[in-house]
Structure formats: C-alpha cells, structure tokens
Amino acid sequence: MILVLLGPPGSGKGTQAKTLVANHKWPQLSTGDMLRHAISEGTKLGLEAKSFMDKGSLVPDEVVIGLIAARTMLEDCKKGFILDGFPRTIPQAEALDKMLQKQGRLVNRAVLFEIPDAELVRRLSGRRTCLSCGSMFHVDSMKSKKDGICDKCGSPLVQRDDDKAEVIQKRLAVYQLQTAPLAQYYQTAGKLKKIDATQSPEKVSESLEKALS
Ligand code: AP5
C-alpha cells in the first residue's frame, strides 16, 4: 500500500498516520517531521527550510522531492508506506508518480480529510507536540495526563512555532492555493476517497480503514 494522506494543516493526518503505523506496520513518511528534524540538527537544509516554515510558506519542491526520493529507497518502504504532508503541490505529485514508476510502483490511494477552517484553527492553536517522540496532544480535547509533559516519554511538550495564530492563517491560505488542487489530481486518477475529519480520532480511524478496503 502506498497511501497519500491529503488535508489541510491540523486536519489530523499525523494523528491518523501514527494509528496506521501501529495497525499495519507501514512506515510514516512525514516531510514536516523530516524538516523539523533537520532544523533540530542544525543542518544546512534545516536552516534553509526554517525560513520558509516559520512564515507558513512551503519549502521549495526540489528540497522535499529529494527527501522523499531518498527515504522511499530504504528497506522498510519495500512493502509500502504512508505519505503524510507530501505531495503538497502538483509538481510534487507528478515527481512522486515518476519516481514510483521508475521503481515499478504507484500510489494506490489518496484520502482527503475534510474539515472546516474554524475547527482547524482550534486544533492547531491548542496543539502541543513532544519534540522527543513526536506524540501530539491538545490543551482542551486531547490533554496529557500531566500538564506540559508527554504521556509516552515524559519529555516537555511545546507549541510549534508555526502553530502561532498569524502563521496558522497563512498556512491555511497556502493550503487552499497550492495543495487543495491535488484532490482533483487524485480524483482524475480514480484514487481519491474523502473522509469526515471532524469526528473523534477513533471514528476518523474507522472511516480511514473503510476508505482503504
Ligand atoms: P507539516 O508538519 O506537514 O504540517 P501540516 O500539514 O501543516 O499538518 P499538521 O502537522 O499541522 O497537521 P495534521 O493534519 O498532521 O494534524 P495533527 O494530527 O497534528 O508541515 C509543516 C511545514 O513544513 C509546512 O508549513 C511547510 O513549510 C513544510 N512542509 C512540510 N511538507 C512539505 C512539502 N511536502 N512541501 C513543502 N513544504 C513542506 O492534529 C492537529 C491537532 O488536532 C493535534 O493537537 C491533535 O491532537 C488534534 N486532533 C487530531 N485529530 C483529532 C480529532 N479527530 N479530534 C480532535 N482533535 C484532533
């Protein structure tokens, strides 16, 4: 299974990808996580990416395409993988198709997480992330047991720089302009399924499994 999770920032792609990893053992390929890792390591790529991410803009296509091309060649991707946050532009989707074609593979399914903007703003502004293990919480709806501490590994929880109010608005606008057209791209290819992402995480997970069957 090569699965593309499509949807605006905060729609729950990362949350659901982690459930899919646990249930199916497919690796999660998140370009956002890869870029944040590069930033935390202080690499040249990380420094370049940070200037785009802090503003809520997309990192240049060639940078993320290079990251994904290298990652999909690793052994754990042989039986499939989940793409979370990639592709995000039509050129990225076309590059992905070409890359997979060379490997004798293709995208099997793209699932679009549908959700209104008001709920996205609520989710993103209240999100807290563990920098150590990547677990996610929400200050109202998915609270950690101890305030500010990750339930899984005990590390401090932080607010992502791009989850500040002014950057959230920019990310939503960028999504509409550059990423939303991908729904039509995968619809035309006969690969698109849509799910209601406003439901509880458990119900979204059920809908996602149905969309994959
Ligand atoms: P990235 O890290 O990919 O961020 P994103 O797409 O904006 O998505 P998010 O991680 O914000 O949201 P999500 O849909 O995963 O939701 P989550 O599960 O966390 O990208 C960040 C930046 O990197 C981009 O802006 C760009 O600069 C750059 N970048 C990355 N990929 C790129 C690419 N391909 N090309 C160019 N640039 C790229 O959930 C959100 C919150 O809601 C959490 O608090 C969670 O607990 C809560 N929640 C989740 N599900 C539910 C539910 N069902 N009910 C209630 N609350 C829920």
Is 203 an annotated catalytic residue? no
Is 105 an annotated catalytic residue? no
Q: Is 14 in the pocket of ligand 1 (CB under 6 A)?
A: yes
Q: Is 205 in the pocket of ligand 1 (CB under 6 A)?
A: no
C-alpha 170/C-alpha 2 separation (Å) is 29
Q: Is 136 in the pocket of ligand 1 (CB under 6 A)?
A: yes
CA of 33 to the centre of ligand 1 (A): 10
Predicted local confidence at residue 31, as pLDDT: 97
Of the residues 18, 36, 71, 127, only one is catalytic, namely 127
CA of 120 to the centre of ligand 1 (A): 10
CA-nearest residue for atom 57, ligand 1, is: 12
Mean pLDDT by 10 residues, the chain (213 residues): 97 96 96 94 94 96 96 95 98 98 96 97 95 90 94 95 93 98 98 97 97 95
Is it true that the peptide bond before 201 is cis, omega within 30 degrees of 0? no
CA of 110 to the centre of ligand 1 (A): 16
Predicted local confidence at residue 143, as pLDDT: 94
> CB neighbours (10 Å) of residue 59?
20
Q: Is 35 in the pocket of ligand 1 (CB under 6 A)?
A: yes
Are the beta carbons of 174 and 57 closer than 8 angstroms? yes
pTM, entire model:
0.95
Is 127 an annotated catalytic residue? yes
Is 123 an annotated catalytic residue? no
CA-nearest residue for atom 23, ligand 1, is: 32
Q: Is 204 in the pocket of ligand 1 (CB under 6 A)?
A: yes
Predicted local confidence at residue 16, as pLDDT: 97
CB contact set of 204 (below 8 Å; sequence gap of 6+): 12, 15, 16, 113, 195, 196, 197
Predicted local confidence at residue 134, as pLDDT: 86
Q: Is 31 in the pocket of ligand 1 (CB under 6 A)?
A: yes
Is 194 an annotated catalytic residue? no
C-alpha 115/C-alpha 181 separation (Å) is 16
CB contact set of 166 (below 8 Å; sequence gap of 6+): none
Q: Is 8 in the pocket of ligand 1 (CB under 6 A)?
A: no
